Amino acid sequence: REIILLCEKVAKEDIAVRFYEEQHGNIVWEEYGEFQHTNVHKQVAICFRTPRYRTLDVEHHVMVNIQLKRPSDGATSEPLPFELTPLDSAKRKKRKPNHWG
């Protein structure tokens, strides 16, 4: 899915959108949003695609964290909660049960 993230002034050549999941204080999954430098608008908005979760066999929403990371020095923003949804969740809601009879 494509997302637009509003942020404070960032350097388009030195910013990453980090997603990660923690369990019992350990990071069990980490990936980065996909975007090009041209997807950073006037240093205050980033248009990016969310990364794939560690497994595609997910039936329920998964809570992870999202934060900005500056690769040049490793500085990060405060993490915010982010909910990943299963790929077919929209289809699942529309699907009607089969009645064989």
- Sorted by where each begins, the domain ranges of the chain are 2-94
The pLDDT, as a whole number, for residue 58 is 76
Entry pTM:
0.81
Cβ-contact 63, 82 below 8 angstroms? yes
pLDDT at 10: 94
Integer Cα distance of 74 and 28 in angstroms? 19
- What CATH number matches the domain at 2-94, 2.60.120.260, 3.40.50.1860, 2.60.40.10, 1.10.1530.10? 2.60.40.10
Per cent of the chain over pLDDT 70 is: 86
pLDDT digits (tens, 9 = 90+) for 41-86: 999 999 999 998 888 777 888 899 999 999 999 999 999 999 988 8
End-to-end C-alpha distance for the chain, whole angstroms: 39
